[in-house]
Amino acid sequence: MTVRSALLAFTLLVTTCFGFGQSVDRYTVIPRPAQLEPRAGEFIINNTTRLVIPVEQAELRAIADTFAHQLNRATNLNIQVRNSNPTPGGTTPQTGNVIQFSPSQDTSLGEEGYQLDVTNQLISIEARHPKGFFYAVQTLYQLLPPTVLGVGQGAKGRGTTSNTPSPQALSPLPLALTIPACRIQDRPRYVYRGMHLDVSRHFFPVAFIKKYIDLMALHKFNNFHWHLTDDQGWRIEIKKYPKLTQVGAQRRETLVGHYDEYDPQVFDGKPYSGFYTQDDIREVVRYAAAKYINVVPEIEMPGHALAALAAYPELGCNGRSDGASPYQVATKWGVFDDVFCPYDKTFQFLEDVLTEVMALFPSKYIHIGGDECPKSTWRKSDFAQQLMRQQNLKDENALQSYFINRIDKFVNAKGRRIIGWDEILEGNSSTIRLSPDATVMSWRGIKGGIEAARQRHDVIMTPGQYCYFDQYQGDPAQEPMAFGGQLPIAMVYSYNPTPTELSPTEATHILGAQGNIWTEYLAEPAEVEYMAWPRAAALAEVLWTPLAQKNYTDFSRRLPAHFARLTALNVNFARTFYDVTPSAKPIPNGKLTVTLSADALAPDIRYTVDGSVPSSESPRYERPFMLDQSTTVRAATFSNGQPLSQLAKIQREFIVSSATGKAYKLLSAPTTGRPDRNYSLTDGTTGSMGGYELANVVSFANDINVIIDLGKPQPVSSVRVGFVKYTARNLCLPKQVEILVSDDGQTFRPVLSIKTNAAEGGKRGIVRLPFDFAQTTARYVQVIALNVGQVPAGLRNPGKPAQMAVDEIEVK
């Protein structure tokens, strides 16, 4: 199939698939407008189209010029921007093929609201502020065919079905450039609609930051939280302190995999560096401002400071008198004990840094971190303890409050306001309190946000359960590396940032919410995009659309067209929305019944049972099917013969053996953390791990002792057990495995006893250990796995109590 025909099929898919109704086909705007009245007809953009703006409106001229430029570069048309002739009553009404910008006096629109009236001959945009006109244009982009967002695609359109840019020139695709008639009255639900990006763990170039901002603008976000400093790197040039980038922007190597992926940990041995010059910062700030996005810089304190301390060790409690640094830029992830020491020189340093930061960022908000600050170095510091006595501080939490309060006062004196993570509330007292202007960013659930709102602080909600986009969005065993946890797009969409526990007055302090992208495991721009989109689109609708208008089914129906937009923009978005979930259930005859399900509306699921990649010619899933032998099931969703899900991704190994579906007795109790659920050791479903999570496994604090009833006497000669090797979490292989068999379930005879390597470390995983023996006849099979007792020497946690975990037991 040619690229052109593939694109044609994909475009037809997003406009016709699943039998959507006409209104859904025509109005696929995300976030959904507050009010949208469908109309018959359409406005056709052609060479006669004019954009008309009021005279002497420089901001509107910039918005209209940018819109015309994008239309022209995408279509090869020559649309012009013209000034209207003013009349005593306002702007002269236009006739013909016109897109008219008309300032409004309607106060109900606020700064960001707009009205959009589309007929066959005229598009009228009304707003009180340039922001409103800008957001109206973003809506027009989404009412146009998706390929209009691309570059040089021609009036007939060009694009790519790939999630990644294609270097080749593509054949033109016939496509009418039309906007469906409608009337829209729109304004946002929340004033703060944010996306965050951590550039400290991994650095991203200015070009990508701009693309990130472009996507935010299309989705009507208005705040970009730029996390610029942390333990793993200082990424902003500070003229007064050059070593912050000479030393603090570089680490000697980086951890490979998750924190507990290997035992011992493995590092890549490659120096890593990168920072933004002050000119880079100014360029990004200017670029974002043109899209009505405020850039909120974050300078972490008093914790997450290792990169700064490596550059200026005298600012830490462990500084050496000879000037040598006891610190180094962190090469792995986590929370570190070394934090800023509360010397006067530390505050002078931070004030100098913030002074330069505030000169670069016009934002009224300056984020000062305040999270995850261990107190151990302060407890050991003579200076810190003396300061606590002088200031009558009862404990180290109060010392942190003192620290934040000093910075808060300094920032306020400069006419700005601080934002801090919800820990900045800790340690407040009658004598030391945050200023009323301090804004709290609630990330550890919603409790901090509720407490802050009740204390009359403004709040930005960003709880990890809904807003941390570094979590897995699909099956962790199938997804690219992520931090851990599960956050599917439906969960993001379900979020309501205003806690129901708040009174109406308290709720006014909820400014909005923010999606966070932490980059410990995201080293490339494409990886960031995969984690952000389309979950950020769901959050955009949460923050913009009135609560009563939110509807996940309706949002789901708009997503395919939105995916086409992201494709035109060369965004590496995740397609987990289309993922298939295979599941199996044992049936009495010892076989497995496999069910394939997907969240997408009416998907065409194709599957294979031989491990091959599914195609549009593979069997179509109509009903559950049976497996009579162990195999790997792979599945994908299709429409019009084109794949929707990522073909190589969805696969699940199922095991069929004489033990499948058979009952068993556990003579040793599982742990409460990973209990046995409905005979899960013989259910045919293998275990998996992703992030820090284990699925479909049963764990034991001591030995494993299980007796399986095969139902009738039969030949047996092999047992295989899937043991979890996750020694960084104290899950070890057994030191010895014994296999016994019985005819009556009472008297057992041993058939095998073999020592195994409980000290084996390395990469974590599920190790299927085979235990083969001379064939015998038996009805009952007993498996005893002996726990090594303590984690062996040479592993991460030697001497700690060892555990074991098992996923599936096979008998053949």
* Residues with catalytic function: 230, 304, 372
Q: Kindly give the residue spans of alpha helices, DSSP state H, lying in 429-501.
A: 447-454, 464-467, 489-493
Tokens 């053996």 locate to 657
> What is the side-by-side strand order in the sheet with 122-127?
35-44, 178-186, 114-118, 122-127, 98-103, 50-53, 80-83
Angle made by CA atoms 391, 394, 400, in degrees to the nearest 5: 75
CB neighbourhood size of 793 (10 A): 8
CB neighbourhood size of 241 (10 A): 18
Return the closest-CA partner of residue 45 out of 81, 99, 94.
99
DSSP three-state, residue 93:
coil
Return the closest-CA partner of residue 232 out of 378, 371, 331.
331
Tokens 């300032």 locate to 103
Burial class (CB in 10 A: 0-12, 13-18, 19+), 622: exposed
Q: Is there a contact between 739 and 771 (Cβ–Cβ < 8 Å)?
A: yes
Q: Output the six-digit token pair for 384.
A: 């810190």
DSSP 797: S
Q: Output the six-digit token pair for 719.
A: 């047992």
Q: Is there a contact between 234 and 149 (Cβ–Cβ < 8 Å)?
A: no
Q: Output the six-digit token pair for 505.
A: 């007055």
Angle made by CA atoms 515, 519, 521, in degrees to the nearest 5: 125
DSSP three-state, residue 100:
strand
Return the closest-CA partner of residue 424 out of 450, 452, 447, 446.
452
Burial class (CB in 10 A: 0-12, 13-18, 19+), 303: buried
Q: Is there a contact between 460 and 443 (Cβ–Cβ < 8 Å)?
A: no
Q: Which helix (H) or strand (E) holds 407?
A: helix 396-413
Return the closest-CA partner of residue 384 out of 337, 327, 422, 430.
337
DSSP three-state, residue 768:
strand
Spatial separation of the C-alpha atoms in residues 564 and 551, rounded to whole Å: 21
Rounded to the nearest 5 percent, the helix, strand and coil shares of the chain are: 25, 30, 45
Spatial separation of the C-alpha atoms in residues 345 and 182, rounded to whole Å: 61
Q: Is there a contact between 365 and 457 (Cβ–Cβ < 8 Å)?
A: no
Spatial separation of the C-alpha atoms in residues 399 and 397, rounded to whole Å: 5
DSSP 540: H
DSSP three-state, residue 303:
coil
Spatial separation of the C-alpha atoms in residues 674 and 680, rounded to whole Å: 11
Instruction: Kindly report the backbone phi and psi dihedral angles of residue 260, in degrees, each rounded to the nearest multiple of 5, phi listed first.
Output: -110, 20
Spatial separation of the C-alpha atoms in residues 564 and 161, rounded to whole Å: 8
Cα Rg for the chain, rounded, in angstroms? Answer: 30
SS (H, E, C) 676-737: CCCCHHHCCECCEEECCEEECCEEECCCEEEEEEEEEEEEEEEEEEEEEEEHHHCECCCCEE
Contacts of 167 (CB under 8 A, 6+ apart): none
Q: Is there a contact between 212 and 323 (Cβ–Cβ < 8 Å)?
A: no
Q: Output the six-digit token pair for 272.
A: 């890593």
